[in-house]
Chains A and B, each alone.
Chain A
Amino acid sequence: MAAMTPLLTTRDLRKSYGGLRAVDGVDFAIVPGEIRAVIGPNGAGKTTFVSLICGRVPPTSGQIVFDGNDITDLPAHDRVRRGIAYTFQITSVFSNLTAYDNVALPVQRTLTDGRSKGRLHAGVMSALERTGLADRADTVAGALSYGHQRLLEVAMGLALRPRLLILDEPTQGLSDGEIEGFMQLVREIARDATVLLIEHNMQVVMGLADRITVMNTGKILAEGTPEQIRANAEVQRAYLGTEA
């Protein structure tokens, strides 16, 4: 894996809010096809870190390189068009639109950009089918159950045909049964996309991730395979201590 060119690299990435260093000099790389989990206690800077990557938040300093190009100064919508998709931590589907229209938005984007071909309808239905929502296409998103709304959020991410899919706490609030199905879905997605996952549920992290990055106080505390992270004494102290 070390020999592969990374899909995404950050160099000395920083973000400060006043005196608070939310992200503090992060050097990070993820290789194509990987499932990477980012974990860490609350306030460790995980969401800020991925927000810098997808462009929702501008960095204070540092550099972000995606697929060999410096994207540090690109606006968020341009990054999405290059293949970085972000699914929100707090479900933010368009609750007054149907599930169909929610997914039609990203599909028509990829059609306009020439990143996908074919008809809008086929693209929408394929994303809905992959997430098991096809029979709810005409349901208004706000009327879907919470679990289905989370799936719809993922369907929208999928429909963007991302090369890097960022999932911000995707299993939060899901039942155990739903989590099982969700892990299955992420494994399937990872067959043709790289997945960056922020997650609190250790069972999901250990079950899915190829590698884990542990953040604490805006810095990377440790990085390695699930086994290495589990065995890391520093990580246990900072984070797993209470759960181990």
Chain B
Amino acid sequence: MSPGNSPKKVYLLHAAVIAVLFALNFMLPEYHHGVLARVMVLAVFAMGYNILFGYSGLLSLGHAMFFSAGLYGAGLTVSHLGWGMAAGFAAGIASGALLALVIGVLALRTTGVAFMIVTMMFAQVFYLLTLYFAEWTRGDEGFVLAQQARRIDLGDLHFNLTDPATRYMAALALFSVVLLATLAIVRSAHGRVLVAIRENEERTRMLGYDTFANKLAAVVVSGVICAAAGAAYALLFGYVGSTFATVQYSILPLLWVLLGGAATTLGPLVGTLFMFYVVDITSGYTSAYLLIVGVALILLVLYFPKGILGTVRERWIKWLP
């Protein structure tokens, strides 16, 4: 963030990542093409989590509720109210924003371990609500969005989100927007304040910053990004179910971010991709794949304690944002 940093290199790197992902659309075999579309959406989830955990230092164990708020906000309005894709997506984001604002005001009264427990508790409430209102959500079983509903018509342009290439490009578009937004936040004055709060909240307060307001803003931004991922997931993959509201989906983004490198803009993508393929490859060889995943994670913690990109930044490429 100081003048010694090289903004040109940073922008080039991010543009290159987006360009590579774009090119892969035309090169990847079908299976990996589908995987990458999914990974990009989940990486958006991880990027949202990273804003709060990596940059602001707030460890939430309840982010499944923001992802699910987007998932259900989009899924329910499309399937029950017959809303279009764009309106459904907006509804998902709005649900996430509102939920994050309310949860933020309540949960930020606590810090540290209490914050983890309170966020986890609220997420559990959200999960139970998805079961309770099974009449509309169909609970565990979930529901599928009708194929014919997953279309966007813009004048003469017709997008069919069930088409793999369209789906991939939609995922990439969302990923790119969120990646660049994260980069902009991190390099902004507000990003510097978030990092300062993470490093030493009391000192930040004594520099004239309303740390509560700044943390609340971080919770809302994080919630909105995670909800956008959830909404996109519902619309692109056509399935909405309460599995996504379980505690597992609160732990996963934490794991992806830790693996890829907390407080790095590209870490969430790297972590999500890495985790997905470790599970994917090992489960092809043995039913005890979780054992191998465990060993891989231990090795990573030993040799890359700050996550893959976090360690790369520390040892080699200091200018990584």
Question: B189 — nearest CB in chain A belongs to which residue?
Answer: A108
Given contacts A101-B192, A104-B1, A105-B192, contact A96 B199 (CB under 8 A): yes
Q: Which residues of B contact A54 (CB under 8 A)?
A: 206
Contact of B200 with A106 in the complex, beta carbons under 8 Å: no
Q: Mark A87-125, 1 if CB is under 8 A from B, else 0.
A: 010001111111011001110111011000000110000
Min distance, Cβ A165 to any Cβ of chain B, angstroms? 12
Contact of B210 with A100 in the complex, beta carbons under 8 Å: no
- B40 near A: Cβ within 8 Å? no
Q: Which residues of B contact A120 (CB under 8 A)?
A: 189
Query: A138 touches which one: B2, B193, B200, B211 (CB < 8 A)?
Result: B2
CA distance A80 to B199 in the complex (A): 19
- A76 near B: Cβ within 8 Å? yes
- B203 near A: Cβ within 8 Å? yes
- B208 near A: Cβ within 8 Å? yes
Query: A105 touches which one: B202, B204, B210 (CB < 8 A)?
Result: B204
Q: Please list the 5 inter-chain residue pairs (A to B) with the smallest Cβ-Cβ separation, ordered nearest first.
A: A80-B208, A100-B2, A138-B4, A109-B208, A94-B199
- B196 near A: Cβ within 8 Å? yes
Query: A113 touches which one: B2, B205, B208 (CB < 8 A)?
Result: B208
Contact of A156 with B210 in the complex, beta carbons under 8 Å: no
Contact of B200 with A92 in the complex, beta carbons under 8 Å: yes
A interface, over-half SS: helix
Contact of B210 with A75 in the complex, beta carbons under 8 Å: yes
- A66 near B: Cβ within 8 Å? no
Contact of B208 with A77 in the complex, beta carbons under 8 Å: yes
CA distance A80 to B193 in the complex (A): 15
Number of interface residues of A (CB under 8 A): 33
Question: A156 — nearest CB in chain B belongs to which residue?
Answer: B207
Min distance, Cβ B306 to any Cβ of chain A, angstroms? 12
CA distance A229 to B208 in the complex (A): 35
Contact of B206 with A76 in the complex, beta carbons under 8 Å: yes
Contact of B203 with A160 in the complex, beta carbons under 8 Å: no
Contact of A97 with B208 in the complex, beta carbons under 8 Å: no
A-B contact pairs, 14 of them (CB 8 A): A75-B210, A76-B205, A77-B208, A77-B209, A94-B203, A97-B195, A101-B195, A105-B196, A105-B204, A105-B209, A108-B189, A108-B192, A110-B208, A138-B4
Question: A125 — nearest CB in chain B belongs to which residue?
Answer: B3
Min distance, Cβ A156 to any Cβ of chain B, angstroms? 7
Q: How large is the interface on B (under 10, 10 to 19, 20 to 34, 35 or more residues)?
A: 20 to 34
Contact of B192 with A104 in the complex, beta carbons under 8 Å: yes
With a 10 A CB-CB cut-off, give which of B2, B193, B195, B199 has the most chain A CB atoms: B2
Min distance, Cβ B223 to any Cβ of chain A, angstroms? 24
Q: Which residues of B contact A187 (CB under 8 A)?
A: none
Contact of A109 with B210 in the complex, beta carbons under 8 Å: no
Query: A101 touches which one: B1, B206, B210, B211 (CB < 8 A)?
Result: B1
Q: Which residues of A contact B210 (CB under 8 A)?
A: 75, 77
Q: Which residues of B contact A97 (CB under 8 A)?
A: 195-196, 199
- A182 near B: Cβ within 8 Å? no
Min distance, Cβ B95 to any Cβ of chain A, angstroms? 31
Q: Which residues of A contact B4 (CB under 8 A)?
A: 98, 100, 137-138
Min distance, Cβ A78 to any Cβ of chain B, angstroms? 8
Q: Which residues of B contact A11 (CB under 8 A)?
A: none
Q: Which residues of A contact B193 (CB under 8 A)?
A: 105, 108
Contact of B207 with A101 in the complex, beta carbons under 8 Å: no
Q: Which residues of B contact A98 (CB under 8 A)?
A: 1-2, 4
Given contacts A92-B200, A97-B196, contact A109 B207 (CB under 8 A): yes
Q: Which residues of A contact B203 (CB under 8 A)?
A: 88, 92-94
CA distance A20 to B202 in the complex (A): 24
Min distance, Cβ A91 to any Cβ of chain B, angstroms? 10
Q: Which residues of B (168-211) have their CB < 8 Å from a CB of A?
A: 189, 192-193, 195-196, 199-200, 202-211
Q: Mark B1-21, 1 if CB is under 8 A from A, else 0.
A: 111100000000000000000
CA distance A98 to B319 in the complex (A): 13
Given contacts A100-B2, A101-B2, A108-B189, contact A77 B195 (CB under 8 A): no
- A21 near B: Cβ within 8 Å? no
Min distance, Cβ B198 to any Cβ of chain A, angstroms? 9
- A230 near B: Cβ within 8 Å? no
